[in-house]
Structure 1
Amino acid sequence: MSALPSFDQRRVRERFNRAAESYDRHAAVQHEIGRRLDERFGWLKLEPARILDLGTGTGQMVRAMRERYPKADVIGVDLAEAMLRRLPRRRWWSLHRQGVVADMHALPFVGGSMDAVVSNFAVQWSDRPAALFAEVARVMSSGAPFAFTTLGPDSLVEVRRAWAAVDPSPHVHQFLDMHDLGDALVGAMLADPVMDRETVTVTYPTVDALLSDLRGVGVGNTQSGRSRGMTGAQAWRRFREALAEQAVDGQIPLTYEIVYGLAWGTGVSPVPQEAHGMVGG
Structure 2
Amino acid sequence: MVMPEQARIAQRFGDAAHAYDAEALAQRHSAAALLTGIRAKGRALDVGCGTGWLAGQLAAQPEVTEVLALDIARPMLQSAVRMHPSLRCIQADAAAMPVASGSIDLLVSNFALQWLSSPDRFASELYRVLAAQGCFRLAVPVAGTLGELSAAWERVEENPPINRFLSSGAWAETLLRHNLKIQTQAVTPLFQYYPTVRELLRAFKRIGANETLSPRRSGMWGKGKLQALESAMEPYRTPAGLPLRYDVLLITGYKP
Q: TM-score, normalised by structure 1?
A: 0.82
The 8 Å contact of residues 55 and 77 in structure 1, kept in 2 or not, is answered as: yes
**Bigger proportion of residues as strand:** 2
Are the structure 2 counterparts of residues 153 and 62 from structure 1 closer, same or farther at C-alpha, using a change threshold of 3 Å? same
The one-letter code of the counterpart of 1:26 is E
RCO comparison, higher one (Cα < 8 Å, 6+)? 1
> Structure 1 residue 25 and structure 2 residue 22: aligned?
yes
Superposed CA deviations along residues 135-166 of structure 1, whole A, max 9, x for unmatched, are 11100001011101011211111111121112
Q: CA deviation at 1:212?
A: 2.7
Kindly indicate whether the alpha-carbon contact (under 8 Å) linking 1:54 and 1:122 is maintained by their aligned counterparts in 2: yes
Match of 2:37 among 15, 40, 47: 40
What amino acid maps onto 2:5 in structure 1?
Answer: D
Deviation, 1:173, is 1.8
Alpha-carbon distance change, 250 to 241 in structure 1, aligned in 2, over 3 angstroms:
farther
RMSD after superposition: 2.2
Shift of 1:90: 8.6
Runs of 4 or more consecutive aligned structure 1 residues displaced over 4 Å after TM superposition: none
Contact 2:137 2:252 in 1 (8 A): yes
* CA displacement at 1:251 relative to structure 2: 2.0
d(CA) in 2 for partners of 1:177 and 1:69?
36
CA gap 1:128/1:239 in 2 versus in 1, 3 angstroms: same
Q: Partner residue of 2:114?
A: 124
Deviations 1:50-86 (A, max 9, x none): 1110000000111110122464200110110010000
- The amino acid of 2:11's aligned partner reads E
Q: Any residues of structure 2 matched to 1:43-62 within 5 Å, and which? A: 46-48=40-42, 50-62=43-55
Q: Which string of whole-angstrom CA distances, capped at 9 and with x for unpartnered residues, describes residues 155-182 of structure 1?
A: 1111111211122234222111211111
Instruction: Output the amino acid matched with 1:111.
Output: S
Gaps of 5+ in 1: 1-6, 267-281
Establish whether residue 230 from structure 1 lines up as the match of residue 219 from structure 2: yes
Q: Does 1:144 align with 2:134?
A: yes
In the superposition, relative to structure 1, how do residues 255 and 134 fare at CA in structure 2: closer, same or farther (>3 Å)? same
Equivalent-residue separation in structure 1 for 2:192 and 2:116 (angstroms)? 24
Query: CA offsets per residue over residues 234-278 of structure 1, 9 Å max, x none?
Result: 122212332234213472122221111111023xxxxxxxxxxxx
SS in structure 2 opposite 1:63?
A: helix
Distance in 2 (CA, whole Å) between partners of 1:97 and 1:73 is: 7
**Equivalent residue for 2:145?**
155
> Is 1:11 paired with 2:4?
no
Aligned to 2:251: 261
Q: Deviations over 1:16-43 (max 9, x none)?
A: 011100100101111111011111314x
* SS at 2:217 equivalent: coil
Give yes or no for contact 1:178–1:259 (8 Å, CA) kept in 2. yes
Say if 1:245 and 1:68 are closer, same or farther in 2 by CA, change over 3 A: same
What is the SS of the residue equivalent to 1:82? helix
Q: Percent sequence identity over matched residues? A: 27
Q: Which residue of 1 aligns with 2:182?
A: 192
Structure 2 unmatched runs, 5+:
none
* Per-residue deviation, 1:89: 5.0
Partner of 1:271: none
- Once the two structures are superposed, residues 156-213 of structure 1 have per-residue CA deviations (whole angstroms, 9 ceiling, x without a partner) of 1111112111222342221112111111111111123432111223322222332232
Counterpart amino acid of residue 52 in structure 2: G
Cross-structure match for 2:237: 247
